Structure 1
Amino acid sequence: MNDEADLPLTHHEEWVKRIEAMTPVVRQWDQRIKNPMLPQPGSQLSQDNMENLDVDGTIWYQLCVSVEHLNFALDAMYKTRTVYPTAYMTVLRTAYLASVNALWILSGTGRTDRRLRTLRFIAEDTRVHIQAVRELEASEELKSAKQAQLNGLFKQQADLQSVAKELGSTEEVRNMKVNQTSNVAEVAEHFCNSDSSKDLTEAIRFIWRDGSAAAHGQYHFGLSRVKAHEINQGERGARVARLFGDFSRDVGPAFAGIRLILEKSFELYDVACEL
Protein backbone atom coordinates (compact mmCIF):
# COMPACT_ATOMS: atom_id res chain seq x y z
CA MET A 1 0.00 0.00 0.00
CA ASN A 2 1.07 3.54 -0.58
CA ASP A 3 -0.99 5.27 2.11
CA GLU A 4 0.67 8.10 4.01
CA ALA A 5 -0.06 6.27 7.28
CA ASP A 6 2.17 3.40 6.14
CA LEU A 7 5.19 5.61 5.47
CA PRO A 8 8.02 5.29 8.05
CA LEU A 9 8.24 8.07 10.60
CA THR A 10 11.10 10.54 10.36
CA HIS A 11 13.43 10.90 13.35
CA HIS A 12 11.67 14.16 14.18
CA GLU A 13 8.25 12.48 14.10
CA GLU A 14 9.52 9.65 16.28
CA TRP A 15 10.58 12.17 18.92
CA VAL A 16 7.22 13.93 18.71
CA LYS A 17 5.60 10.59 19.55
CA ARG A 18 8.01 10.05 22.45
CA ILE A 19 7.30 13.50 23.88
CA GLU A 20 3.57 12.83 23.61
CA ALA A 21 4.10 9.60 25.56
CA MET A 22 6.02 11.47 28.28
CA THR A 23 3.39 14.19 28.58
CA PRO A 24 1.12 12.49 31.19
CA VAL A 25 3.86 12.10 33.81
CA VAL A 26 4.94 15.75 33.38
CA ARG A 27 1.32 16.86 33.82
CA GLN A 28 1.14 14.75 36.99
CA TRP A 29 4.29 16.38 38.34
CA ASP A 30 2.83 19.78 37.52
CA GLN A 31 -0.19 19.01 39.69
CA ARG A 32 2.03 17.65 42.43
CA ILE A 33 4.14 20.79 42.81
CA LYS A 34 0.95 22.79 43.27
CA ASN A 35 0.09 20.72 46.35
CA PRO A 36 3.31 20.30 48.36
CA MET A 37 3.44 18.01 51.38
CA LEU A 38 5.96 18.30 54.21
CA PRO A 39 8.27 15.34 54.93
CA GLN A 40 6.95 13.11 57.67
CA PRO A 41 8.29 13.99 61.13
CA GLY A 42 11.27 11.78 61.86
CA SER A 43 11.94 11.04 58.19
CA GLN A 44 15.43 11.37 56.70
CA LEU A 45 14.65 14.65 54.99
CA SER A 46 12.97 16.24 58.00
CA GLN A 47 16.05 15.42 60.07
CA ASP A 48 18.38 16.83 57.39
CA ASN A 49 17.00 20.31 58.11
CA MET A 50 18.90 22.52 60.55
CA GLU A 51 18.32 25.92 62.04
CA ASN A 52 19.10 28.39 59.23
CA LEU A 53 19.50 25.56 56.70
CA ASP A 54 16.36 24.39 54.90
CA VAL A 55 17.46 21.25 53.04
CA ASP A 56 13.94 20.11 52.17
CA GLY A 57 12.80 23.53 50.93
CA THR A 58 15.90 23.97 48.78
CA ILE A 59 15.36 20.62 47.05
CA TRP A 60 11.62 21.17 46.62
CA TYR A 61 12.14 24.59 45.02
CA GLN A 62 14.51 23.10 42.45
CA LEU A 63 11.98 20.38 41.64
CA CYS A 64 9.27 23.02 41.23
CA VAL A 65 11.38 25.15 38.89
CA SER A 66 12.33 22.13 36.79
CA VAL A 67 8.77 20.85 36.44
CA GLU A 68 7.45 24.36 35.75
CA HIS A 69 9.82 24.84 32.81
CA LEU A 70 9.32 21.33 31.46
CA ASN A 71 5.55 21.79 31.60
CA PHE A 72 5.84 25.22 29.98
CA ALA A 73 7.81 23.70 27.12
CA LEU A 74 4.99 21.21 26.62
CA ASP A 75 2.39 23.98 26.63
CA ALA A 76 4.35 25.87 23.98
CA MET A 77 4.71 22.76 21.82
CA TYR A 78 1.04 21.81 21.96
CA LYS A 79 -0.42 25.31 21.66
CA THR A 80 1.85 26.77 18.98
CA ARG A 81 2.52 23.58 16.99
CA THR A 82 5.73 25.31 15.99
CA VAL A 83 9.25 23.87 16.13
CA TYR A 84 11.34 26.87 17.12
CA PRO A 85 15.06 26.58 16.30
CA THR A 86 16.50 27.67 19.68
CA ALA A 87 13.78 28.78 22.12
CA TYR A 88 12.85 25.34 23.47
CA MET A 89 16.43 24.60 24.48
CA THR A 90 16.71 27.82 26.50
CA VAL A 91 13.63 26.80 28.51
CA LEU A 92 14.75 23.19 28.83
CA ARG A 93 18.17 24.32 30.06
CA THR A 94 16.57 25.77 33.20
CA ALA A 95 14.49 22.63 33.67
CA TYR A 96 17.67 20.60 33.28
CA LEU A 97 19.83 22.57 35.71
CA ALA A 98 17.14 22.65 38.39
CA SER A 99 16.61 18.88 38.11
CA VAL A 100 20.37 18.32 38.32
CA ASN A 101 20.61 20.54 41.42
CA ALA A 102 17.81 18.63 43.14
CA LEU A 103 19.33 15.25 42.41
CA TRP A 104 22.82 16.44 43.36
CA ILE A 105 21.66 17.42 46.85
CA LEU A 106 19.44 14.37 47.30
CA SER A 107 22.22 11.97 46.31
CA GLY A 108 24.69 13.13 48.94
CA THR A 109 26.47 10.22 50.62
CA GLY A 110 25.00 10.98 54.03
CA ARG A 111 23.26 13.60 56.15
CA THR A 112 26.33 15.78 56.57
CA ASP A 113 27.07 15.65 52.85
CA ARG A 114 23.49 16.61 51.93
CA ARG A 115 23.65 19.48 54.40
CA LEU A 116 27.00 20.68 53.05
CA ARG A 117 25.71 20.56 49.48
CA THR A 118 22.64 22.56 50.48
CA LEU A 119 24.87 25.02 52.35
CA ARG A 120 27.06 25.54 49.28
CA PHE A 121 24.01 26.02 47.07
CA ILE A 122 22.38 28.60 49.39
CA ALA A 123 25.71 30.32 50.09
CA GLU A 124 26.31 30.99 46.40
CA ASP A 125 22.74 32.17 45.96
CA THR A 126 23.19 34.61 48.86
CA ARG A 127 26.51 35.86 47.49
CA VAL A 128 24.98 36.50 44.05
CA HIS A 129 22.02 38.25 45.68
CA ILE A 130 24.35 40.54 47.64
CA GLN A 131 26.27 41.40 44.48
CA ALA A 132 23.05 42.21 42.62
CA VAL A 133 21.78 44.52 45.40
CA ARG A 134 25.16 46.26 45.69
CA GLU A 135 25.15 47.04 41.97
CA LEU A 136 21.72 48.67 42.09
CA GLU A 137 21.75 52.44 41.72
CA ALA A 138 19.63 53.80 44.54
CA SER A 139 18.27 57.31 44.95
CA GLU A 140 18.67 59.13 48.26
CA GLU A 141 15.17 58.06 49.24
CA LEU A 142 15.95 54.38 48.60
CA LYS A 143 19.47 54.16 50.01
CA SER A 144 18.25 53.23 53.47
CA ALA A 145 16.02 50.49 52.02
CA LYS A 146 18.95 49.17 49.99
CA GLN A 147 21.21 49.10 53.06
CA ALA A 148 18.51 47.35 55.09
CA GLN A 149 18.26 44.65 52.45
CA LEU A 150 22.04 44.25 52.42
CA ASN A 151 22.11 44.03 56.23
CA GLY A 152 19.57 41.23 56.08
CA LEU A 153 21.67 39.36 53.53
CA PHE A 154 24.84 39.85 55.59
CA LYS A 155 22.96 38.42 58.60
CA GLN A 156 21.96 35.43 56.48
CA GLN A 157 25.61 34.98 55.46
CA ALA A 158 26.71 35.07 59.10
CA ASP A 159 24.06 32.49 60.02
CA LEU A 160 25.29 30.25 57.20
CA GLN A 161 28.86 30.62 58.47
CA SER A 162 27.67 29.30 61.84
CA VAL A 163 26.05 26.37 60.05
CA ALA A 164 29.32 25.69 58.21
CA LYS A 165 31.22 25.65 61.51
CA GLU A 166 28.68 23.26 63.03
CA LEU A 167 29.12 20.95 60.03
CA GLY A 168 32.91 20.99 60.39
CA SER A 169 33.62 23.15 57.33
CA THR A 170 36.36 25.76 57.57
CA GLU A 171 35.51 27.29 54.18
CA GLU A 172 34.34 30.91 54.09
CA VAL A 173 30.66 30.98 53.16
CA ARG A 174 31.12 34.20 51.19
CA ASN A 175 33.58 32.38 48.91
CA MET A 176 31.51 29.23 48.32
CA LYS A 177 30.58 28.45 44.73
CA VAL A 178 28.69 25.64 43.04
CA ASN A 179 30.61 23.91 40.26
CA GLN A 180 27.71 23.22 37.93
CA THR A 181 29.81 21.32 35.39
CA SER A 182 31.06 18.99 38.12
CA ASN A 183 27.52 18.50 39.44
CA VAL A 184 26.26 17.62 35.96
CA ALA A 185 29.02 15.02 35.58
CA GLU A 186 28.26 13.54 39.00
CA VAL A 187 24.52 13.33 38.34
CA ALA A 188 25.15 11.72 34.94
CA GLU A 189 26.98 8.88 36.70
CA HIS A 190 23.69 7.83 38.29
CA PHE A 191 22.67 6.50 34.89
CA CYS A 192 25.95 4.77 34.08
CA ASN A 193 25.36 1.26 35.43
CA SER A 194 26.32 -0.70 32.33
CA ASP A 195 28.30 -0.36 29.11
CA SER A 196 25.07 0.20 27.20
CA SER A 197 24.22 3.22 29.34
CA LYS A 198 27.47 5.09 28.65
CA ASP A 199 25.92 6.81 25.65
CA LEU A 200 23.05 7.98 27.85
CA THR A 201 25.51 9.32 30.42
CA GLU A 202 27.39 11.30 27.79
CA ALA A 203 24.11 12.58 26.34
CA ILE A 204 23.04 13.84 29.76
CA ARG A 205 26.33 15.69 30.07
CA PHE A 206 25.97 17.17 26.59
CA ILE A 207 22.53 18.66 27.36
CA TRP A 208 24.30 21.08 29.73
CA ARG A 209 26.59 22.42 27.01
CA ASP A 210 23.98 22.40 24.26
CA GLY A 211 21.43 24.21 26.41
CA SER A 212 24.00 26.80 27.47
CA ALA A 213 24.89 27.50 23.84
CA ALA A 214 21.23 28.08 23.01
CA ALA A 215 20.56 30.24 26.08
CA HIS A 216 23.63 32.42 25.46
CA GLY A 217 22.81 32.90 21.78
CA GLN A 218 26.10 31.32 20.72
CA TYR A 219 26.65 31.31 16.99
CA HIS A 220 27.65 27.66 16.63
CA PHE A 221 24.30 26.56 18.02
CA GLY A 222 22.52 28.47 15.27
CA LEU A 223 24.86 27.18 12.58
CA SER A 224 23.96 23.62 13.45
CA ARG A 225 20.38 24.45 12.48
CA VAL A 226 21.18 25.56 8.95
CA LYS A 227 20.44 23.27 6.04
CA ALA A 228 23.00 23.58 3.26
CA HIS A 229 20.37 23.85 0.54
CA GLU A 230 18.72 26.75 2.35
CA ILE A 231 21.72 29.08 2.23
CA ASN A 232 20.75 31.77 -0.26
CA GLN A 233 22.48 34.77 -1.77
CA GLY A 234 21.19 38.02 -0.36
CA GLU A 235 21.81 41.60 -1.37
CA ARG A 236 25.37 42.78 -2.02
CA GLY A 237 26.75 39.26 -1.94
CA ALA A 238 25.61 38.44 1.58
CA ARG A 239 24.54 34.88 2.31
CA VAL A 240 21.24 34.39 4.13
CA ALA A 241 20.32 31.17 5.91
CA ARG A 242 17.06 29.98 7.42
CA LEU A 243 17.31 28.24 10.78
CA PHE A 244 15.19 25.15 11.35
CA GLY A 245 14.05 23.20 14.39
CA ASP A 246 14.19 19.44 14.75
CA PHE A 247 13.15 17.58 17.87
CA SER A 248 15.49 14.71 17.05
CA ARG A 249 18.62 16.88 17.31
CA ASP A 250 18.37 18.16 20.86
CA VAL A 251 14.90 19.09 22.11
CA GLY A 252 13.66 15.50 22.23
CA PRO A 253 16.78 14.02 23.86
CA ALA A 254 16.97 16.95 26.29
CA PHE A 255 13.32 16.48 27.24
CA ALA A 256 13.88 12.75 27.80
CA GLY A 257 17.05 13.40 29.82
CA ILE A 258 15.29 15.87 32.12
CA ARG A 259 12.43 13.43 32.56
CA LEU A 260 14.88 10.73 33.66
CA ILE A 261 16.62 13.04 36.15
CA LEU A 262 13.32 14.26 37.58
CA GLU A 263 12.03 10.71 37.87
CA LYS A 264 15.11 9.74 39.88
CA SER A 265 14.86 12.92 41.96
CA PHE A 266 11.23 12.37 42.91
CA GLU A 267 12.03 8.73 43.71
CA LEU A 268 14.78 9.72 46.15
CA TYR A 269 12.72 12.60 47.52
CA ASP A 270 9.76 10.36 48.29
CA VAL A 271 11.94 7.79 50.03
CA ALA A 272 13.61 10.53 52.09
CA CYS A 273 10.22 11.95 53.11
CA GLU A 274 8.90 8.66 54.47
CA LEU A 275 9.56 7.00 57.81
Structure 2
Amino acid sequence: MSVSQADRAALTPILEAQPDLDRWRLRAKTVEEPESGSDLALDDKIFPHMAISQLARTSLVFSGEHLRLALDAVHAKQLYPSSHFTVLRGALVGAAQGVWILSPDDRRERRERGLTVLAEMYSQMGKYYDSLAGLSQDDQERIDDQKDRLSDRKAGGTAVRTGRAGLNLTDVIRASAEDTFASAGHHEAVCQLWRETSADAHVLGWSVFRRSSFGSPDRRTGIGVAQAPGSPGHVAEAFLPSYRMLKHGWSLFDRRCEQRTGE
Protein backbone atom coordinates (compact mmCIF):
# COMPACT_ATOMS: atom_id res chain seq x y z
CA MET A 1 0.00 0.00 0.00
CA SER A 2 1.74 3.15 -1.22
CA VAL A 3 1.10 6.17 0.99
CA SER A 4 0.82 9.67 -0.41
CA GLN A 5 0.90 12.81 1.68
CA ALA A 6 -2.90 12.98 1.56
CA ASP A 7 -3.15 9.32 2.59
CA ARG A 8 -0.78 9.92 5.49
CA ALA A 9 -2.88 12.86 6.66
CA ALA A 10 -5.99 10.65 6.59
CA LEU A 11 -4.29 7.79 8.42
CA THR A 12 -2.73 9.88 11.20
CA PRO A 13 -5.90 10.40 13.31
CA ILE A 14 -6.80 6.72 12.88
CA LEU A 15 -3.39 5.63 14.17
CA GLU A 16 -3.63 8.12 17.03
CA ALA A 17 -6.70 6.25 18.29
CA GLN A 18 -4.55 3.22 19.19
CA PRO A 19 -3.87 4.16 22.86
CA ASP A 20 -7.58 4.62 23.60
CA LEU A 21 -8.48 1.37 21.84
CA ASP A 22 -5.81 -0.50 23.80
CA ARG A 23 -7.04 1.00 27.06
CA TRP A 24 -10.64 0.02 26.32
CA ARG A 25 -9.47 -3.47 25.34
CA LEU A 26 -7.87 -3.91 28.75
CA ARG A 27 -11.01 -2.63 30.47
CA ALA A 28 -13.03 -5.33 28.73
CA LYS A 29 -11.04 -8.09 30.45
CA THR A 30 -12.71 -7.53 33.83
CA VAL A 31 -16.30 -6.87 34.86
CA GLU A 32 -16.91 -3.24 35.78
CA GLU A 33 -19.85 -2.69 38.09
CA PRO A 34 -21.31 0.72 38.93
CA GLU A 35 -20.67 2.19 42.36
CA SER A 36 -23.44 1.90 44.92
CA GLY A 37 -25.82 4.84 44.63
CA SER A 38 -24.70 5.74 41.11
CA ASP A 39 -27.10 6.32 38.22
CA LEU A 40 -26.41 2.92 36.69
CA ALA A 41 -26.56 1.08 40.01
CA LEU A 42 -30.08 2.42 40.43
CA ASP A 43 -30.95 1.69 36.79
CA ASP A 44 -29.85 -1.93 37.21
CA LYS A 45 -32.37 -2.60 39.96
CA ILE A 46 -35.31 -2.64 37.58
CA PHE A 47 -34.31 -5.96 35.95
CA PRO A 48 -31.64 -7.89 37.86
CA HIS A 49 -31.49 -10.75 35.33
CA MET A 50 -29.66 -8.48 32.86
CA ALA A 51 -28.13 -5.29 34.20
CA ILE A 52 -28.69 -2.23 32.04
CA SER A 53 -25.14 -1.14 32.87
CA GLN A 54 -23.80 -4.31 31.28
CA LEU A 55 -25.96 -3.93 28.18
CA ALA A 56 -24.45 -0.48 27.65
CA ARG A 57 -20.94 -1.64 28.48
CA THR A 58 -21.16 -4.63 26.13
CA SER A 59 -22.22 -2.30 23.32
CA LEU A 60 -19.15 -0.13 23.94
CA VAL A 61 -16.80 -3.11 24.23
CA PHE A 62 -17.98 -4.61 20.94
CA SER A 63 -17.67 -1.25 19.21
CA GLY A 64 -14.05 -1.03 20.30
CA GLU A 65 -13.44 -4.58 19.10
CA HIS A 66 -14.67 -3.65 15.62
CA LEU A 67 -12.51 -0.52 15.56
CA ARG A 68 -9.43 -2.54 16.55
CA LEU A 69 -10.08 -4.98 13.72
CA ALA A 70 -10.32 -2.09 11.26
CA LEU A 71 -7.10 -0.62 12.65
CA ASP A 72 -5.33 -4.00 12.55
CA ALA A 73 -5.95 -4.08 8.80
CA VAL A 74 -4.42 -0.62 8.45
CA HIS A 75 -1.35 -1.75 10.40
CA ALA A 76 -1.12 -4.73 8.04
CA LYS A 77 -1.15 -2.24 5.13
CA GLN A 78 -4.43 -3.64 3.86
CA LEU A 79 -7.37 -1.48 2.83
CA TYR A 80 -10.61 -3.13 1.79
CA PRO A 81 -13.07 -1.29 -0.47
CA SER A 82 -16.15 -2.86 1.15
CA SER A 83 -15.40 -5.13 4.12
CA HIS A 84 -13.60 -2.36 6.00
CA PHE A 85 -16.92 -0.53 6.05
CA THR A 86 -18.90 -3.57 7.16
CA VAL A 87 -16.64 -3.73 10.21
CA LEU A 88 -16.91 0.00 10.81
CA ARG A 89 -20.70 -0.20 10.58
CA GLY A 90 -20.58 -2.63 13.52
CA ALA A 91 -18.40 -0.14 15.40
CA LEU A 92 -20.94 2.61 14.75
CA VAL A 93 -23.87 0.48 15.94
CA GLY A 94 -22.12 -0.50 19.18
CA ALA A 95 -21.04 3.04 20.00
CA ALA A 96 -24.43 4.51 19.14
CA GLN A 97 -26.33 1.91 21.13
CA GLY A 98 -24.18 2.54 24.20
CA VAL A 99 -24.58 6.32 23.93
CA TRP A 100 -28.32 5.96 23.33
CA ILE A 101 -28.80 3.97 26.54
CA LEU A 102 -26.55 6.16 28.67
CA SER A 103 -27.24 9.69 27.47
CA PRO A 104 -30.64 10.58 29.03
CA ASP A 105 -30.50 12.27 32.42
CA ASP A 106 -33.96 10.92 33.16
CA ARG A 107 -33.68 7.52 34.84
CA ARG A 108 -36.97 6.27 33.43
CA GLU A 109 -35.79 7.01 29.90
CA ARG A 110 -32.43 5.28 30.42
CA ARG A 111 -34.18 2.23 31.81
CA GLU A 112 -36.69 2.12 28.98
CA ARG A 113 -33.95 2.36 26.37
CA GLY A 114 -31.94 -0.39 28.03
CA LEU A 115 -35.01 -2.61 28.22
CA THR A 116 -35.78 -1.88 24.56
CA VAL A 117 -32.34 -3.18 23.56
CA LEU A 118 -32.85 -6.18 25.83
CA ALA A 119 -36.24 -6.93 24.26
CA GLU A 120 -34.64 -6.96 20.81
CA MET A 121 -31.88 -9.26 22.02
CA TYR A 122 -34.41 -11.69 23.49
CA SER A 123 -36.52 -11.53 20.32
CA GLN A 124 -33.57 -12.42 18.09
CA MET A 125 -32.51 -15.22 20.44
CA GLY A 126 -36.02 -16.64 20.25
CA LYS A 127 -35.97 -16.59 16.45
CA TYR A 128 -32.66 -18.45 16.50
CA TYR A 129 -33.98 -21.14 18.83
CA ASP A 130 -37.12 -21.52 16.71
CA SER A 131 -35.00 -22.01 13.58
CA LEU A 132 -33.10 -25.00 14.96
CA ALA A 133 -34.12 -28.31 13.41
CA GLY A 134 -32.88 -31.88 13.18
CA LEU A 135 -31.63 -31.95 16.76
CA SER A 136 -31.11 -35.06 18.81
CA GLN A 137 -33.60 -35.67 21.60
CA ASP A 138 -31.10 -34.54 24.24
CA ASP A 139 -30.24 -31.37 22.33
CA GLN A 140 -33.91 -30.63 21.71
CA GLU A 141 -34.66 -30.97 25.41
CA ARG A 142 -31.84 -28.55 26.25
CA ILE A 143 -33.10 -26.06 23.67
CA ASP A 144 -36.64 -26.38 25.01
CA ASP A 145 -35.36 -25.60 28.51
CA GLN A 146 -33.53 -22.55 27.18
CA LYS A 147 -36.64 -21.42 25.33
CA ASP A 148 -38.68 -21.71 28.53
CA ARG A 149 -36.16 -19.60 30.44
CA LEU A 150 -36.05 -17.09 27.61
CA SER A 151 -39.84 -16.85 27.64
CA ASP A 152 -39.75 -16.08 31.36
CA ARG A 153 -37.08 -13.42 30.85
CA LYS A 154 -39.03 -11.81 28.00
CA ALA A 155 -42.18 -11.68 30.12
CA GLY A 156 -40.25 -10.19 33.03
CA GLY A 157 -38.68 -7.52 30.85
CA THR A 158 -41.99 -6.63 29.25
CA ALA A 159 -43.65 -6.30 32.66
CA VAL A 160 -41.30 -3.52 33.81
CA ARG A 161 -41.27 -1.51 30.57
CA THR A 162 -43.20 1.73 30.29
CA GLY A 163 -43.63 1.47 26.50
CA ARG A 164 -43.76 -1.11 23.74
CA ALA A 165 -41.73 0.51 20.97
CA GLY A 166 -39.25 -1.74 19.20
CA LEU A 167 -35.59 -0.99 18.63
CA ASN A 168 -35.11 1.26 15.58
CA LEU A 169 -31.39 1.52 14.86
CA THR A 170 -31.81 4.40 12.42
CA ASP A 171 -33.38 6.45 15.21
CA VAL A 172 -30.66 5.28 17.61
CA ILE A 173 -27.91 6.39 15.22
CA ARG A 174 -29.42 9.84 14.74
CA ALA A 175 -30.10 10.43 18.44
CA SER A 176 -26.58 9.36 19.39
CA ALA A 177 -25.03 11.51 16.67
CA GLU A 178 -26.95 14.50 18.03
CA ASP A 179 -25.76 13.72 21.55
CA THR A 180 -22.12 13.29 20.49
CA PHE A 181 -21.55 16.02 17.91
CA ALA A 182 -22.45 19.70 18.08
CA SER A 183 -23.06 20.52 14.43
CA ALA A 184 -25.96 19.51 12.20
CA GLY A 185 -23.42 18.73 9.50
CA HIS A 186 -21.88 16.03 11.67
CA HIS A 187 -25.32 14.63 12.47
CA GLU A 188 -26.13 14.25 8.79
CA ALA A 189 -22.70 12.81 7.99
CA VAL A 190 -23.18 10.06 10.57
CA CYS A 191 -26.66 9.24 9.27
CA GLN A 192 -25.30 9.16 5.72
CA LEU A 193 -22.54 6.80 6.86
CA TRP A 194 -25.18 4.53 8.40
CA ARG A 195 -27.17 4.41 5.16
CA GLU A 196 -24.11 3.97 2.95
CA THR A 197 -22.57 1.11 4.93
CA SER A 198 -25.87 -0.75 4.75
CA ALA A 199 -24.92 -1.49 1.15
CA ASP A 200 -21.62 -2.98 2.33
CA ALA A 201 -23.27 -5.10 5.02
CA HIS A 202 -25.83 -6.44 2.53
CA VAL A 203 -23.33 -6.78 -0.35
CA LEU A 204 -25.32 -4.52 -2.67
CA GLY A 205 -22.29 -2.79 -4.10
CA TRP A 206 -23.50 0.73 -4.74
CA SER A 207 -21.49 2.11 -1.83
CA VAL A 208 -18.29 0.89 -3.50
CA PHE A 209 -19.19 2.88 -6.61
CA ARG A 210 -18.84 6.03 -4.51
CA ARG A 211 -15.31 4.94 -3.54
CA SER A 212 -14.24 4.03 -7.08
CA SER A 213 -12.50 5.71 -9.97
CA PHE A 214 -13.90 5.06 -13.43
CA GLY A 215 -12.12 4.67 -16.72
CA SER A 216 -13.45 5.84 -20.06
CA PRO A 217 -16.61 3.96 -21.08
CA ASP A 218 -16.56 1.54 -23.97
CA ARG A 219 -17.80 3.33 -27.09
CA ARG A 220 -20.10 0.46 -28.05
CA THR A 221 -21.64 -0.40 -24.69
CA GLY A 222 -21.18 2.80 -22.71
CA ILE A 223 -19.87 0.70 -19.81
CA GLY A 224 -16.59 1.56 -18.12
CA VAL A 225 -14.36 -0.26 -15.66
CA ALA A 226 -14.34 0.90 -12.03
CA GLN A 227 -11.36 0.50 -9.72
CA ALA A 228 -11.71 0.51 -5.94
CA PRO A 229 -8.30 -0.24 -4.39
CA GLY A 230 -9.26 1.09 -0.96
CA SER A 231 -8.70 4.62 0.23
CA PRO A 232 -7.32 5.86 3.59
CA GLY A 233 -9.55 8.90 3.25
CA HIS A 234 -12.71 6.82 2.91
CA VAL A 235 -11.70 4.59 5.82
CA ALA A 236 -11.05 7.66 7.97
CA GLU A 237 -14.49 9.07 7.12
CA ALA A 238 -16.08 5.93 8.59
CA PHE A 239 -13.60 5.25 11.39
CA LEU A 240 -13.39 8.62 13.09
CA PRO A 241 -17.10 9.30 13.79
CA SER A 242 -17.48 5.85 15.35
CA TYR A 243 -14.32 6.31 17.40
CA ARG A 244 -15.40 9.73 18.67
CA MET A 245 -18.86 8.44 19.50
CA LEU A 246 -17.31 5.51 21.37
CA LYS A 247 -15.09 7.87 23.33
CA HIS A 248 -18.19 9.84 24.30
CA GLY A 249 -19.91 6.60 25.27
CA TRP A 250 -17.15 5.54 27.65
CA SER A 251 -17.20 9.00 29.21
CA LEU A 252 -20.94 8.66 29.79
CA PHE A 253 -20.50 5.17 31.21
CA ASP A 254 -17.87 6.33 33.71
CA ARG A 255 -20.00 9.27 34.77
CA ARG A 256 -23.11 7.12 35.23
CA CYS A 257 -21.08 4.60 37.28
CA GLU A 258 -19.81 7.17 39.78
CA GLN A 259 -21.55 7.47 43.12
CA ARG A 260 -23.70 10.56 43.26
CA THR A 261 -22.95 12.86 46.17
CA GLY A 262 -25.27 15.22 47.97
CA GLU A 263 -28.42 13.22 47.22
Secondary structure at the counterpart of residue 200 of structure 1: helix
In the superposition, the TM-score normalised over structure 2's length comes to 0.87
Query: Do the aligned partners of 2:55 and 2:114 also contact (CA within 8 Å) in 1?
Result: yes
Structure 2: unaligned runs, 5 residues or longer: none
Question: In structure 2, what residue type is equivalent to 1:39?
Answer: P
Query: Do the aligned partners of 2:217 and 2:223 also contact (CA within 8 Å) in 1?
Result: no
**Matched residue count:** 252
Question: In structure 1, what residue type is equivalent to 2:240?
Answer: A
* 1:204-219 aligned within 5 A: 204-219=190-205
Residue aligning to 2:188? 202
* 1:126-165 aligned within 5 A: 126-141=122-137, 142-164=139-161
1:32 and 1:231 map into 2 onto residues whose CA distance is 52
Residue aligning to 1:262? 246
1:170 and 1:77 map into 2 onto residues whose CA distance is 43
Identity of aligned residues (%): 27
By how many angstroms is 1:139 displaced?
Answer: 3.2
Cα 1:59–1:219 shift into 2, 3 Å: same
1:35 and 1:64 map into 2 onto residues whose CA distance is 11
Cα 1:135–1:34 shift into 2, 3 Å: same
Aligned Cα root-mean-square deviation (Å): 2.3
Cα 1:119–1:191 shift into 2, 3 Å: closer
Query: Do the aligned partners of 2:80 and 2:229 also contact (CA within 8 Å) in 1?
Result: yes
Secondary structure at the counterpart of residue 214 of structure 2: strand
Query: Do the aligned partners of 1:53 and 1:160 also contact (CA within 8 Å) in 2?
Result: no
Match of 1:247 among 232, 247, 254: 232
Q: Which moved more, 1:130-139 or 1:95-104?
A: 130-139
By how many angstroms is 1:192 displaced?
Answer: 4.7
Residue aligning to 2:172? 183
2:150 and 2:30 map into 1 onto residues whose CA distance is 29
Residue aligning to 1:72? 69
1:225 and 1:268 map into 2 onto residues whose CA distance is 34
1:75 and 1:101 map into 2 onto residues whose CA distance is 23
Residue aligning to 1:274? 258
Match of 1:226 among 212, 230, 236: 212
Query: Do the aligned partners of 2:120 and 2:166 also contact (CA within 8 Å) in 1?
Result: yes
2:69 and 2:49 map into 1 onto residues whose CA distance is 32
Query: Do the aligned partners of 1:230 and 1:241 also contact (CA within 8 Å) in 2?
Result: no
Query: Do the aligned partners of 2:63 and 2:95 also contact (CA within 8 Å) in 1?
Result: yes
Query: Do the aligned partners of 1:44 and 1:273 also contact (CA within 8 Å) in 2?
Result: yes
Query: Do the aligned partners of 1:70 and 1:92 also contact (CA within 8 Å) in 2?
Result: yes
Question: In structure 2, what residue type is equivalent to 1:58?
Answer: L
Q: What whole-Å deviation, never above 9, does each CA across 1:26-67 have from its counterpart, x for those lacking one?
A: 222222222342211111111111233411111111111011
Query: Do the aligned partners of 2:214 and 2:224 also contact (CA within 8 Å) in 1?
Result: no
